Chain A
Amino acid sequence: MTTIEPAGRGGVTGGLAVRLRGLAKSFGDKSVLGGIDLDLAEGEFLALLGPSGTGKTTLLRILAGLELPDAGEVLAPRRRTTVYQEPRLVQARGVLANVTLGLPRSARDAGLRALAEVGLDGYATVWPSTLSGGEAQRVALARALVRDPELLLLDEPFAALDALTRLQMQELVAELCARHRPAVVLVTHDVDEAVRLADRVIVLREGALAVDRRLDLPHPRDRDDPAFLAHRSLFLSHLGVFA
Protein backbone atom coordinates (compact mmCIF):
# COMPACT_ATOMS: atom_id res chain seq x y z
CA MET A 1 0.00 0.00 0.00
CA THR A 2 1.24 3.45 -0.84
CA THR A 3 1.06 6.35 1.53
CA ILE A 4 1.07 9.84 0.16
CA GLU A 5 2.83 12.85 1.63
CA PRO A 6 0.51 15.78 2.15
CA ALA A 7 0.46 17.83 -1.04
CA GLY A 8 0.43 21.54 -0.52
CA ARG A 9 -2.25 22.23 -3.06
CA GLY A 10 -3.95 25.58 -2.77
CA GLY A 11 -2.79 26.05 0.79
CA VAL A 12 -4.33 22.78 1.90
CA THR A 13 -1.97 21.13 4.33
CA GLY A 14 -4.13 18.19 5.34
CA GLY A 15 -4.04 14.70 3.97
CA LEU A 16 -5.33 13.66 0.62
CA ALA A 17 -8.46 11.62 0.00
CA VAL A 18 -7.95 11.13 -3.73
CA ARG A 19 -4.92 11.34 -5.92
CA LEU A 20 -5.12 10.89 -9.70
CA ARG A 21 -2.16 11.13 -12.04
CA GLY A 22 -2.43 10.80 -15.79
CA LEU A 23 -5.70 8.90 -15.53
CA ALA A 24 -6.85 7.79 -18.97
CA LYS A 25 -9.76 5.63 -20.05
CA SER A 26 -11.35 4.91 -23.38
CA PHE A 27 -14.20 2.69 -24.50
CA GLY A 28 -13.39 1.19 -27.87
CA ASP A 29 -12.15 4.06 -30.03
CA LYS A 30 -13.79 6.70 -27.89
CA SER A 31 -11.45 8.37 -25.41
CA VAL A 32 -13.45 9.34 -22.33
CA LEU A 33 -10.77 10.51 -19.94
CA GLY A 34 -7.51 11.81 -21.38
CA GLY A 35 -4.86 12.09 -18.69
CA ILE A 36 -6.52 13.57 -15.63
CA ASP A 37 -4.43 14.90 -12.71
CA LEU A 38 -6.45 15.59 -9.60
CA ASP A 39 -5.90 15.85 -5.85
CA LEU A 40 -8.81 15.91 -3.47
CA ALA A 41 -8.16 16.89 0.13
CA GLU A 42 -9.59 15.03 3.06
CA GLY A 43 -13.08 16.30 3.82
CA GLU A 44 -13.29 18.29 0.60
CA PHE A 45 -16.61 18.37 -1.28
CA LEU A 46 -15.98 18.26 -5.02
CA ALA A 47 -18.72 18.60 -7.61
CA LEU A 48 -18.03 17.35 -11.14
CA LEU A 49 -19.98 19.12 -13.86
CA GLY A 50 -19.91 18.53 -17.58
CA PRO A 51 -22.02 17.68 -20.59
CA SER A 52 -23.16 14.07 -21.03
CA GLY A 53 -20.42 11.72 -22.16
CA THR A 54 -17.49 13.75 -20.82
CA GLY A 55 -16.42 11.06 -18.41
CA LYS A 56 -17.81 12.32 -15.10
CA THR A 57 -19.45 9.05 -14.22
CA THR A 58 -16.50 7.05 -15.60
CA LEU A 59 -14.18 8.97 -13.27
CA LEU A 60 -16.44 8.17 -10.34
CA ARG A 61 -16.73 4.52 -11.32
CA ILE A 62 -12.94 4.24 -11.53
CA LEU A 63 -12.69 5.66 -7.99
CA ALA A 64 -15.28 3.09 -6.87
CA GLY A 65 -13.30 0.29 -8.53
CA LEU A 66 -16.10 -0.48 -10.97
CA GLU A 67 -14.02 0.36 -14.03
CA LEU A 68 -10.35 -0.27 -14.68
CA PRO A 69 -8.35 2.71 -15.93
CA ASP A 70 -6.30 2.20 -19.09
CA ALA A 71 -3.40 4.22 -17.72
CA GLY A 72 -2.43 6.39 -14.81
CA GLU A 73 -2.31 6.24 -11.05
CA VAL A 74 -5.46 6.09 -8.94
CA LEU A 75 -5.35 6.34 -5.17
CA ALA A 76 -8.41 6.46 -2.94
CA PRO A 77 -9.15 5.59 0.70
CA ARG A 78 -10.21 2.04 1.50
CA ARG A 79 -13.44 3.17 3.17
CA ARG A 80 -15.37 4.58 0.23
CA THR A 81 -19.01 4.12 -0.64
CA THR A 82 -21.22 5.07 -3.52
CA VAL A 83 -24.77 6.37 -3.80
CA TYR A 84 -26.08 5.84 -7.31
CA GLN A 85 -28.79 7.60 -9.26
CA GLU A 86 -31.14 4.72 -8.48
CA PRO A 87 -31.37 3.50 -4.87
CA ARG A 88 -30.21 -0.05 -5.81
CA LEU A 89 -31.84 -1.67 -2.77
CA VAL A 90 -32.27 -5.42 -2.43
CA GLN A 91 -36.04 -5.70 -2.81
CA ALA A 92 -36.19 -8.99 -0.94
CA ARG A 93 -34.70 -7.57 2.28
CA GLY A 94 -35.97 -4.97 4.71
CA VAL A 95 -34.67 -1.42 5.01
CA LEU A 96 -32.31 -2.09 7.94
CA ALA A 97 -30.93 -5.24 6.27
CA ASN A 98 -30.24 -3.12 3.20
CA VAL A 99 -28.45 -0.47 5.25
CA THR A 100 -26.23 -3.02 7.01
CA LEU A 101 -25.72 -5.12 3.89
CA GLY A 102 -22.44 -7.02 4.22
CA LEU A 103 -21.72 -5.70 7.72
CA PRO A 104 -21.59 -7.88 10.83
CA ARG A 105 -24.65 -8.28 13.06
CA SER A 106 -23.12 -5.84 15.53
CA ALA A 107 -23.64 -3.04 12.99
CA ARG A 108 -27.37 -3.13 13.72
CA ASP A 109 -27.28 -0.19 16.13
CA ALA A 110 -25.12 1.86 13.79
CA GLY A 111 -27.62 1.05 11.03
CA LEU A 112 -30.52 2.26 13.15
CA ARG A 113 -28.58 5.44 13.98
CA ALA A 114 -27.88 6.05 10.29
CA LEU A 115 -31.57 5.56 9.49
CA ALA A 116 -32.46 8.06 12.19
CA GLU A 117 -29.94 10.51 10.74
CA VAL A 118 -31.62 10.41 7.34
CA GLY A 119 -35.01 10.84 9.01
CA LEU A 120 -36.24 7.29 8.66
CA ASP A 121 -36.71 6.17 12.29
CA GLY A 122 -39.17 3.32 12.47
CA TYR A 123 -38.53 2.20 8.89
CA ALA A 124 -36.19 -0.66 9.84
CA THR A 125 -38.54 -3.48 8.88
CA VAL A 126 -40.26 -1.78 5.95
CA TRP A 127 -39.90 -3.36 2.47
CA PRO A 128 -38.04 -1.21 -0.08
CA SER A 129 -40.83 -1.57 -2.66
CA THR A 130 -43.20 0.39 -0.41
CA LEU A 131 -40.88 3.43 -0.17
CA SER A 132 -41.20 6.61 -2.20
CA GLY A 133 -38.30 7.61 -4.45
CA GLY A 134 -36.96 10.09 -1.92
CA GLU A 135 -37.24 7.63 0.96
CA ALA A 136 -35.47 4.90 -1.01
CA GLN A 137 -32.67 7.31 -1.83
CA ARG A 138 -32.38 8.24 1.84
CA VAL A 139 -31.98 4.52 2.63
CA ALA A 140 -29.19 4.41 0.04
CA LEU A 141 -27.61 7.41 1.78
CA ALA A 142 -27.89 5.69 5.19
CA ARG A 143 -26.31 2.57 3.67
CA ALA A 144 -23.36 4.70 2.58
CA LEU A 145 -23.09 6.61 5.88
CA VAL A 146 -23.12 3.57 8.14
CA ARG A 147 -19.80 2.52 6.60
CA ASP A 148 -18.28 5.77 7.88
CA PRO A 149 -16.73 6.58 4.49
CA GLU A 150 -13.55 8.58 4.04
CA LEU A 151 -14.66 9.07 0.44
CA LEU A 152 -18.32 9.36 -0.49
CA LEU A 153 -19.10 8.97 -4.19
CA LEU A 154 -22.41 10.46 -5.30
CA ASP A 155 -23.40 9.59 -8.88
CA GLU A 156 -26.26 11.99 -9.71
CA PRO A 157 -28.05 10.87 -6.55
CA PHE A 158 -30.86 13.40 -6.85
CA ALA A 159 -31.46 13.28 -10.60
CA ALA A 160 -34.46 10.96 -10.44
CA LEU A 161 -36.22 12.84 -7.64
CA ASP A 162 -38.95 15.45 -7.91
CA ALA A 163 -37.88 19.08 -7.49
CA LEU A 164 -39.11 19.46 -3.93
CA THR A 165 -37.63 16.18 -2.71
CA ARG A 166 -34.40 17.09 -4.46
CA LEU A 167 -34.10 20.31 -2.43
CA GLN A 168 -34.73 18.42 0.81
CA MET A 169 -32.18 15.76 -0.12
CA GLN A 170 -29.57 18.40 -0.96
CA GLU A 171 -30.18 19.94 2.43
CA LEU A 172 -29.80 16.54 4.09
CA VAL A 173 -26.59 15.71 2.23
CA ALA A 174 -25.09 19.11 3.07
CA GLU A 175 -25.93 18.58 6.73
CA LEU A 176 -24.63 14.99 6.87
CA CYS A 177 -21.41 15.87 5.06
CA ALA A 178 -20.84 18.81 7.41
CA ARG A 179 -21.23 16.42 10.35
CA HIS A 180 -19.25 13.42 9.11
CA ARG A 181 -16.75 15.24 6.88
CA PRO A 182 -16.02 12.59 4.28
CA ALA A 183 -14.32 13.69 1.09
CA VAL A 184 -17.12 13.83 -1.49
CA VAL A 185 -17.17 13.50 -5.25
CA LEU A 186 -20.59 14.53 -6.55
CA VAL A 187 -21.35 13.94 -10.21
CA THR A 188 -24.24 16.14 -11.30
CA HIS A 189 -25.81 17.96 -14.23
CA ASP A 190 -27.35 20.54 -11.95
CA VAL A 191 -25.21 23.67 -11.70
CA ASP A 192 -27.29 25.06 -8.82
CA GLU A 193 -26.78 21.84 -6.92
CA ALA A 194 -23.02 21.99 -7.46
CA VAL A 195 -22.74 25.63 -6.36
CA ARG A 196 -24.99 25.00 -3.39
CA LEU A 197 -23.13 22.02 -1.97
CA ALA A 198 -19.53 21.96 -3.12
CA ASP A 199 -16.28 23.42 -1.78
CA ARG A 200 -14.84 23.02 -5.23
CA VAL A 201 -16.34 22.64 -8.69
CA ILE A 202 -14.67 21.06 -11.70
CA VAL A 203 -16.09 21.24 -15.20
CA LEU A 204 -15.02 18.30 -17.36
CA ARG A 205 -14.92 18.81 -21.09
CA GLU A 206 -13.78 16.24 -23.64
CA GLY A 207 -12.09 14.18 -20.97
CA ALA A 208 -10.06 17.06 -19.48
CA LEU A 209 -10.50 19.48 -16.59
CA ALA A 210 -11.76 22.65 -18.26
CA VAL A 211 -12.41 24.61 -15.05
CA ASP A 212 -11.30 23.96 -11.48
CA ARG A 213 -12.70 26.46 -8.99
CA ARG A 214 -12.83 26.71 -5.23
CA LEU A 215 -16.03 28.24 -3.82
CA ASP A 216 -15.42 30.23 -0.67
CA LEU A 217 -19.05 30.96 0.09
CA PRO A 218 -20.41 30.47 3.61
CA HIS A 219 -22.94 27.73 4.31
CA PRO A 220 -25.91 27.59 4.04
CA ARG A 221 -25.72 29.25 0.67
CA ASP A 222 -28.28 31.75 -0.50
CA ARG A 223 -29.37 31.31 -4.10
CA ASP A 224 -29.92 35.05 -4.44
CA ASP A 225 -26.44 35.95 -3.20
CA PRO A 226 -24.62 37.79 -6.05
CA ALA A 227 -21.54 35.60 -5.49
CA PHE A 228 -23.68 32.48 -5.87
CA LEU A 229 -25.17 33.85 -9.09
CA ALA A 230 -21.74 34.82 -10.42
CA HIS A 231 -20.42 31.29 -9.92
CA ARG A 232 -23.57 29.87 -11.38
CA SER A 233 -23.36 31.85 -14.60
CA LEU A 234 -19.62 31.18 -14.88
CA PHE A 235 -20.16 27.39 -14.79
CA LEU A 236 -23.18 27.62 -17.07
CA SER A 237 -21.16 29.51 -19.66
CA HIS A 238 -18.43 26.85 -19.45
CA LEU A 239 -21.12 24.27 -20.10
CA GLY A 240 -22.19 26.14 -23.20
CA VAL A 241 -25.33 27.64 -21.67
CA PHE A 242 -25.53 31.42 -21.41
CA ALA A 243 -27.62 32.39 -18.46
Chain B
Amino acid sequence: MTEHITLPAGSTRTPDGGPVTVRPGTPAGDAKAGPLLETPRHLGARRRPPGISFAVRLSVPLLLLAVWWYGADSGAIPADVLASPGAVAGAFGELLATGQLGDYLLASARRAGLGVLLGGGIGLLLGVVAGLSALGEELVDPTMQMKRAVPFLALVPLFISWFGVEETFKVVLIAVASAGPMYAYTYLGVRGVDRRLVEAARGFGLRGTRLAVGVIIPTALPNILMALRICLSVALTGLIAAEQIGATEGIGYLVTLAQQYYRSDYMVLCVVVYAVLGLLIDLAIRGVERLAMPWRAGVSAR
Protein backbone atom coordinates (compact mmCIF):
# COMPACT_ATOMS: atom_id res chain seq x y z
CA MET B 1 0.00 0.00 0.00
CA THR B 2 1.34 3.38 -0.92
CA GLU B 3 0.54 6.83 0.30
CA HIS B 4 -1.83 8.98 -1.70
CA ILE B 5 -1.99 12.70 -1.85
CA THR B 6 -5.58 13.81 -2.10
CA LEU B 7 -6.08 17.33 -3.32
CA PRO B 8 -9.17 19.27 -2.35
CA ALA B 9 -11.72 19.58 -5.13
CA GLY B 10 -11.17 22.59 -7.31
CA SER B 11 -7.52 23.02 -6.46
CA THR B 12 -4.99 23.22 -9.22
CA ARG B 13 -2.06 20.88 -9.37
CA THR B 14 1.26 22.64 -8.96
CA PRO B 15 4.28 21.50 -10.95
CA ASP B 16 6.06 20.27 -7.81
CA GLY B 17 3.07 19.08 -5.80
CA GLY B 18 1.26 17.19 -8.51
CA PRO B 19 2.09 13.96 -10.29
CA VAL B 20 5.31 14.04 -12.24
CA THR B 21 4.67 12.89 -15.74
CA VAL B 22 6.67 12.83 -18.89
CA ARG B 23 5.36 13.51 -22.33
CA PRO B 24 5.14 12.13 -24.91
CA GLY B 25 4.83 8.39 -25.01
CA THR B 26 5.49 7.46 -21.42
CA PRO B 27 2.38 8.46 -19.59
CA ALA B 28 3.82 8.07 -16.12
CA GLY B 29 7.04 8.81 -14.32
CA ASP B 30 8.88 6.68 -11.79
CA ALA B 31 7.29 3.90 -9.82
CA LYS B 32 4.73 5.63 -7.66
CA ALA B 33 1.11 5.39 -6.75
CA GLY B 34 -1.59 6.61 -9.05
CA PRO B 35 -4.89 8.11 -7.97
CA LEU B 36 -6.96 6.23 -5.44
CA LEU B 37 -9.32 4.03 -7.41
CA GLU B 38 -12.90 3.15 -6.56
CA THR B 39 -15.91 1.58 -8.16
CA PRO B 40 -17.91 4.46 -9.65
CA ARG B 41 -20.97 5.28 -7.59
CA HIS B 42 -24.07 4.73 -9.69
CA LEU B 43 -25.64 8.05 -10.66
CA GLY B 44 -28.40 6.77 -12.92
CA ALA B 45 -31.95 5.85 -12.00
CA ARG B 46 -32.53 2.45 -10.49
CA ARG B 47 -35.23 0.24 -11.93
CA ARG B 48 -37.90 -0.40 -9.30
CA PRO B 49 -40.24 -3.34 -9.44
CA PRO B 50 -43.75 -2.19 -10.50
CA GLY B 51 -45.38 -3.97 -7.55
CA ILE B 52 -43.49 -1.86 -5.03
CA SER B 53 -44.38 1.34 -6.84
CA PHE B 54 -48.08 0.41 -6.73
CA ALA B 55 -47.92 -0.46 -3.03
CA VAL B 56 -46.22 2.87 -2.23
CA ARG B 57 -48.87 4.74 -4.20
CA LEU B 58 -51.61 3.00 -2.25
CA SER B 59 -50.01 3.39 1.16
CA VAL B 60 -50.83 7.04 1.97
CA PRO B 61 -54.57 6.90 1.07
CA LEU B 62 -54.88 3.64 3.01
CA LEU B 63 -53.11 5.20 6.00
CA LEU B 64 -55.54 8.14 5.96
CA LEU B 65 -58.47 5.76 5.78
CA ALA B 66 -57.09 3.76 8.70
CA VAL B 67 -56.66 6.92 10.81
CA TRP B 68 -60.23 7.99 10.00
CA TRP B 69 -61.58 4.57 10.83
CA TYR B 70 -59.66 4.30 14.09
CA GLY B 71 -60.57 7.87 15.09
CA ALA B 72 -64.29 7.33 14.48
CA ASP B 73 -64.30 3.93 16.12
CA SER B 74 -62.50 5.01 19.29
CA GLY B 75 -64.68 8.08 19.65
CA ALA B 76 -61.78 10.49 19.14
CA ILE B 77 -63.73 11.99 16.21
CA PRO B 78 -67.36 12.80 17.20
CA ALA B 79 -69.95 11.68 14.65
CA ASP B 80 -71.32 15.22 14.14
CA VAL B 81 -67.82 16.44 13.18
CA LEU B 82 -67.02 13.64 10.77
CA ALA B 83 -69.27 10.68 10.03
CA SER B 84 -67.64 7.30 10.54
CA PRO B 85 -66.60 5.19 7.54
CA GLY B 86 -69.43 2.80 8.40
CA ALA B 87 -72.06 5.54 8.27
CA VAL B 88 -70.69 6.82 4.96
CA ALA B 89 -70.71 3.31 3.53
CA GLY B 90 -74.31 3.03 4.72
CA ALA B 91 -75.29 6.26 2.95
CA PHE B 92 -73.52 5.00 -0.15
CA GLY B 93 -75.42 1.71 -0.04
CA GLU B 94 -78.71 3.56 0.45
CA LEU B 95 -78.20 5.85 -2.55
CA LEU B 96 -76.93 2.97 -4.65
CA ALA B 97 -79.93 0.79 -3.80
CA THR B 98 -82.45 3.48 -4.79
CA GLY B 99 -80.55 4.01 -8.03
CA GLN B 100 -80.13 7.68 -7.22
CA LEU B 101 -76.32 7.62 -7.19
CA GLY B 102 -76.17 6.11 -10.66
CA ASP B 103 -78.66 8.67 -12.02
CA TYR B 104 -76.81 11.53 -10.35
CA LEU B 105 -73.45 10.45 -11.75
CA LEU B 106 -74.88 10.00 -15.23
CA ALA B 107 -76.59 13.41 -15.23
CA SER B 108 -73.42 15.12 -14.00
CA ALA B 109 -71.22 13.23 -16.45
CA ARG B 110 -73.42 14.40 -19.33
CA ARG B 111 -73.22 18.03 -18.26
CA ALA B 112 -69.52 17.92 -17.56
CA GLY B 113 -68.76 16.01 -20.76
CA LEU B 114 -70.70 18.42 -22.97
CA GLY B 115 -69.25 21.45 -21.22
CA VAL B 116 -65.64 20.24 -21.40
CA LEU B 117 -66.07 19.20 -25.03
CA LEU B 118 -67.42 22.62 -25.96
CA GLY B 119 -65.17 24.78 -23.77
CA GLY B 120 -62.10 22.58 -24.22
CA GLY B 121 -62.61 22.58 -27.98
CA ILE B 122 -62.78 26.35 -28.12
CA GLY B 123 -59.81 26.69 -25.77
CA LEU B 124 -57.80 24.26 -27.89
CA LEU B 125 -58.59 26.12 -31.10
CA LEU B 126 -57.76 29.52 -29.63
CA GLY B 127 -54.61 28.15 -27.99
CA VAL B 128 -53.32 26.74 -31.27
CA VAL B 129 -54.15 29.96 -33.14
CA ALA B 130 -52.49 32.16 -30.51
CA GLY B 131 -49.48 29.86 -30.25
CA LEU B 132 -48.92 29.65 -33.98
CA SER B 133 -49.33 33.16 -35.30
CA ALA B 134 -48.32 36.53 -33.93
CA LEU B 135 -51.57 38.05 -35.23
CA GLY B 136 -53.58 35.34 -33.50
CA GLU B 137 -51.69 35.94 -30.27
CA GLU B 138 -52.37 39.67 -30.45
CA LEU B 139 -56.06 39.10 -31.17
CA VAL B 140 -56.76 36.32 -28.68
CA ASP B 141 -54.32 36.44 -25.81
CA PRO B 142 -55.23 39.70 -24.00
CA THR B 143 -58.92 38.81 -23.99
CA MET B 144 -58.26 35.27 -22.80
CA GLN B 145 -55.97 36.52 -20.03
CA MET B 146 -58.72 38.92 -18.89
CA LYS B 147 -61.29 36.13 -19.11
CA ARG B 148 -59.02 33.91 -17.04
CA ALA B 149 -58.86 36.59 -14.35
CA VAL B 150 -62.65 36.53 -13.96
CA PRO B 151 -63.71 33.70 -11.59
CA PHE B 152 -66.31 31.75 -13.53
CA LEU B 153 -68.51 31.61 -10.43
CA ALA B 154 -68.93 35.39 -10.81
CA LEU B 155 -70.72 34.68 -14.09
CA VAL B 156 -73.46 32.55 -12.49
CA PRO B 157 -76.03 35.38 -11.98
CA LEU B 158 -75.43 36.75 -15.46
CA PHE B 159 -75.76 33.33 -17.09
CA ILE B 160 -78.96 32.57 -15.15
CA SER B 161 -80.51 35.79 -16.47
CA TRP B 162 -79.45 34.83 -20.01
CA PHE B 163 -80.05 31.09 -20.14
CA GLY B 164 -82.43 30.41 -17.24
CA VAL B 165 -81.60 27.63 -14.80
CA GLU B 166 -81.99 24.69 -17.17
CA GLU B 167 -79.39 22.50 -18.87
CA THR B 168 -78.04 25.23 -21.18
CA PHE B 169 -76.92 27.31 -18.22
CA LYS B 170 -75.11 24.36 -16.64
CA VAL B 171 -73.29 23.30 -19.81
CA VAL B 172 -72.32 26.85 -20.73
CA LEU B 173 -70.98 27.52 -17.23
CA ILE B 174 -68.75 24.43 -17.37
CA ALA B 175 -67.70 25.25 -20.93
CA VAL B 176 -66.62 28.75 -19.92
CA ALA B 177 -64.82 27.38 -16.87
CA SER B 178 -62.84 24.81 -18.87
CA ALA B 179 -61.97 27.02 -21.85
CA GLY B 180 -59.47 28.99 -19.74
CA PRO B 181 -57.09 26.24 -18.64
CA MET B 182 -57.33 24.48 -22.01
CA TYR B 183 -56.38 27.71 -23.76
CA ALA B 184 -53.49 28.50 -21.41
CA TYR B 185 -51.88 25.03 -21.54
CA THR B 186 -52.37 24.58 -25.27
CA TYR B 187 -50.84 27.99 -25.91
CA LEU B 188 -47.85 27.05 -23.76
CA GLY B 189 -47.53 23.68 -25.47
CA VAL B 190 -47.70 25.13 -28.97
CA ARG B 191 -45.16 27.81 -28.08
CA GLY B 192 -42.96 25.04 -26.74
CA VAL B 193 -42.90 23.19 -30.07
CA ASP B 194 -39.46 23.54 -31.58
CA ARG B 195 -39.54 26.48 -34.01
CA ARG B 196 -37.12 24.64 -36.30
CA LEU B 197 -39.58 21.74 -36.56
CA VAL B 198 -42.35 24.14 -37.59
CA GLU B 199 -39.98 25.78 -40.06
CA ALA B 200 -39.17 22.42 -41.62
CA ALA B 201 -42.85 21.41 -41.78
CA ARG B 202 -43.69 24.72 -43.49
CA GLY B 203 -40.90 23.99 -45.93
CA PHE B 204 -42.63 20.71 -46.78
CA GLY B 205 -45.74 22.67 -47.69
CA LEU B 206 -47.79 22.16 -44.51
CA ARG B 207 -49.99 25.14 -43.72
CA GLY B 208 -52.86 25.99 -41.43
CA THR B 209 -54.99 23.05 -40.36
CA ARG B 210 -52.65 20.42 -41.80
CA LEU B 211 -49.71 21.94 -39.95
CA ALA B 212 -51.73 22.06 -36.72
CA VAL B 213 -53.09 18.52 -36.98
CA GLY B 214 -49.99 16.91 -38.45
CA VAL B 215 -47.22 18.49 -36.40
CA ILE B 216 -48.25 21.04 -33.76
CA ILE B 217 -51.00 19.21 -31.88
CA PRO B 218 -49.20 15.83 -31.68
CA THR B 219 -46.07 17.56 -30.38
CA ALA B 220 -48.03 19.67 -27.89
CA LEU B 221 -50.14 16.68 -26.82
CA PRO B 222 -48.52 16.27 -23.39
CA ASN B 223 -49.61 19.81 -22.51
CA ILE B 224 -53.04 19.34 -24.02
CA LEU B 225 -53.69 16.22 -21.97
CA MET B 226 -52.48 18.03 -18.87
CA ALA B 227 -55.03 20.73 -19.76
CA LEU B 228 -57.75 18.10 -20.12
CA ARG B 229 -56.95 16.85 -16.63
CA ILE B 230 -57.36 20.36 -15.23
CA CYS B 231 -60.51 21.01 -17.30
CA LEU B 232 -62.15 17.95 -15.81
CA SER B 233 -61.38 18.96 -12.24
CA VAL B 234 -62.60 22.50 -12.98
CA ALA B 235 -65.76 20.91 -14.35
CA LEU B 236 -66.30 19.15 -11.02
CA THR B 237 -66.15 22.54 -9.29
CA GLY B 238 -68.51 23.96 -11.89
CA LEU B 239 -71.00 21.15 -11.26
CA ILE B 240 -71.40 22.16 -7.61
CA ALA B 241 -72.25 25.72 -8.62
CA ALA B 242 -74.45 24.74 -11.56
CA GLU B 243 -76.42 22.03 -9.79
CA GLN B 244 -77.17 24.14 -6.74
CA ILE B 245 -79.91 25.82 -8.72
CA GLY B 246 -82.64 24.28 -10.86
CA ALA B 247 -81.46 20.68 -10.56
CA THR B 248 -83.06 17.55 -9.15
CA GLU B 249 -80.15 15.26 -9.80
CA GLY B 250 -76.38 15.37 -10.10
CA ILE B 251 -73.44 15.08 -7.73
CA GLY B 252 -73.52 18.84 -7.19
CA TYR B 253 -77.16 18.45 -6.17
CA LEU B 254 -76.06 15.83 -3.67
CA VAL B 255 -73.83 18.42 -1.98
CA THR B 256 -76.79 20.83 -1.77
CA LEU B 257 -78.95 18.06 -0.38
CA ALA B 258 -76.43 17.17 2.31
CA GLN B 259 -76.20 20.81 3.31
CA GLN B 260 -79.98 21.34 3.43
CA TYR B 261 -80.69 18.29 5.56
CA TYR B 262 -77.49 18.63 7.55
CA ARG B 263 -76.54 15.01 6.88
CA SER B 264 -72.93 14.52 7.95
CA ASP B 265 -72.75 11.10 6.26
CA TYR B 266 -73.88 12.58 2.91
CA MET B 267 -71.38 15.42 3.25
CA VAL B 268 -68.50 12.98 3.68
CA LEU B 269 -69.90 10.75 0.95
CA CYS B 270 -69.73 13.73 -1.43
CA VAL B 271 -66.06 14.21 -0.56
CA VAL B 272 -65.39 10.52 -1.16
CA VAL B 273 -67.31 10.55 -4.46
CA TYR B 274 -65.30 13.56 -5.65
CA ALA B 275 -62.04 11.94 -4.55
CA VAL B 276 -62.86 8.72 -6.38
CA LEU B 277 -63.92 10.67 -9.47
CA GLY B 278 -60.61 12.54 -9.34
CA LEU B 279 -58.75 9.23 -9.17
CA LEU B 280 -60.77 7.79 -12.07
CA ILE B 281 -60.16 10.90 -14.18
CA ASP B 282 -56.43 10.61 -13.46
CA LEU B 283 -56.40 6.94 -14.40
CA ALA B 284 -58.39 7.62 -17.58
CA ILE B 285 -56.03 10.38 -18.68
CA ARG B 286 -53.01 8.19 -17.98
CA GLY B 287 -54.61 5.56 -20.18
CA VAL B 288 -55.23 8.11 -22.92
CA GLU B 289 -51.62 9.31 -22.59
CA ARG B 290 -50.39 5.78 -23.11
CA LEU B 291 -52.61 5.28 -26.14
CA ALA B 292 -52.14 8.70 -27.70
CA MET B 293 -48.43 9.12 -27.02
CA PRO B 294 -46.77 5.73 -27.53
CA TRP B 295 -43.55 7.52 -28.47
CA ARG B 296 -43.18 8.83 -24.94
CA ALA B 297 -43.06 5.39 -23.32
CA GLY B 298 -39.36 5.66 -22.57
CA VAL B 299 -39.21 9.41 -22.04
CA SER B 300 -41.84 10.42 -19.54
CA ALA B 301 -41.05 9.66 -15.94
CA ARG B 302 -44.32 7.88 -15.25
Contact = CB atoms under 8 A, between A and B. Distances in A.
Contact of B10 (A1, A44, A67, A147): A147
A97 interface: no
Interface in A116-135: none
A229 interface: no
A167 interface: no
A204 interface: no
B26 interface: yes
A42 B21 contact: yes
B239 to A, nearest CB: 40
B37 A77 contact: yes
B34 A75 contact: no
B20 to A, nearest CB: 9
Given A3-B2, A77-B35, A199-B27, A110 B44 contact: no
A31 to B, nearest CB: 19
B42 interface: yes
Interface size band for B: 20 to 34
A64 B28 contact: no
Interface stretch (B11-19, B133-141, B146-154): B11-19
Contact of A65 (B7, B34, B40): B40
Contacts of A44: 27-28
Say what secondary structure dominates the interface of chain B.
loop
A134 to B, nearest CB: 20
B37 A4 contact: yes
Contacts of A15: 28, 32-35
B25 interface: yes
Contacts of A30: none
Contacts of B18: 181
A42 B19 contact: yes
Contacts of B196: none
A165 to B, nearest CB: 20
B21 A74 contact: no
Interface stretch (A6-14, A154-162, A188-196): A6-14
A199 B42 contact: no
Interface in A63-79: 63-68, 73-79
A210 B147 CA distance: 67
Contacts of A218: 24
Contact of B1 (A3, A19, A45, A65): A3
B41 interface: yes
B9 interface: yes
A180 B7 CA distance: 14
A180 to B, nearest CB: 7
A79 B38 contact: no
A41 B28 contact: yes
B13 to A, nearest CB: 6
A63 B32 contact: no
Interface of B: 1-2, 4, 7, 9-13, 18-19, 21, 23-44
18 contacts: A1-B36, A6-B33, A14-B30, A18-B37, A41-B28, A41-B34, A43-B19, A65-B40, A65-B42, A66-B43, A74-B40, A76-B39, A77-B36, A78-B35, A110-B12, A178-B23, A218-B24, A219-B23
